[in-house]
Chains A and B, each alone.
Chain A
Amino acid sequence: MELSEKDLTRFINKFQDRVFRTCMGFVQNSDDANDLTQDVFLAVIESLDDFRNEAQLSTWVYRIAVNKSLNHLKKRKTRNIFQNIDKLLFKKGSGEAHQFLYNPVAEDENSEEASRLLNHALRKLSQSQRVAFTLSKYDEMSNNEVAVVMGNSVSAVESLLFRAKQNMQKALRDHKF
């Protein structure tokens, strides 16, 4: 499918805010979310020929955004394991430069604490709970819309969201005591 530059710009402008928010919900860092949003659009544009009208274009775009974000998290997890091994073996990266490079930027102590708590709570969610939570809270999708993107029933999404919130609460409580 050949699209003009004008069509592509219009397409990107239409979806960029929501795709960015989805990515932000997963990666928790605006620089990574920007890079990931670019990757999502490149993947979408390059595979427009594969798009069939069985699903809405927006649903298809969000599915690609979710998959790309989950892949990014997996890669980050592996990278963190190697960084931790590296730190353990060579005691590298304990300086300020390392802190600056690998920790999400926090403007003040309060948001730094909030960021730490949110990351801790999100790590306690299963993959599907996290997808449901992100689409619902960051993209403000209705349970029905989340169900369509995830290919689940509405009741399954309701259950996922309920358990996600409960797990997050539990994570915060366990973290304290």
Chain B
Amino acid sequence: MKMNKTVAMDCRRIEKLAWGYMEANLPSREHELIESHLAECASCKEVYQETKLIIQLIEKQKSEGPSPFLASRILSRLEGKNIPKWEISFLLRPAWSFAFASIIIAIGIFTGSIVSNNILAIEGPSNTTNTEMLYANQSFIMEADYYIPGFEYLNE
């Protein structure tokens, strides 16, 4: 599109004033100037129409409100946050984590020692040979019904 110098210069000025024109915030002289410019400049008119479109969209978006359940959702999220927050934070504290880990290790050691004691009870003295241990284990399996943990050598 070919524009004369005056129209082109006006276009830049219109760009500055257009928003005010659309919001009806301009003095009447400038308002008239824009109206006469828009009547003869197709490119400015197109931009004006697009700007009008987005202003209408903003108005439409502004008329939308939040969900009617917003407050109840926030309150339920607050409740949901409070309960696990306490439980999880309690368990995740370093001191408690260390304590829990220590307890689990202690239980493991205790269980391991009982199991090894029970096996020793069947195996007999530590200087037994591998063959003797094998027989002892077999007899443990066979005599398992009579074995009571803690009462070593009961069957002897």
Contact = CB atoms under 8 A, between A and B. Distances in A.
B46 A176 contact: yes
Given A16-B71, A38-B74, A169-B18, A21 B47 contact: no
B78 A45 contact: yes
Contact of B66 (A8, A37, A169): A37
B64 A24 contact: yes
B18, B71, B75 — which one has the most chain A CB atoms within 10 A of its CB?
B71
A21 B64 CA distance: 8
A82 B46 CA distance: 35
A8 B75 contact: yes
Interface of chain B, main secondary structure: helix
Contacts of A140: 62
A121 B15 CA distance: 14
A45 B61 CA distance: 26
B93 to A, nearest CB: 20
A121 B78 CA distance: 37
A17 B65 contact: yes
Contacts of B51: 168-169, 172
10 shortest A-B CB distances, which residue pairs? A20-B66, A114-B57, A165-B19, A118-B54, A114-B53, A12-B71, A169-B15, A172-B50, A41-B74, A172-B47
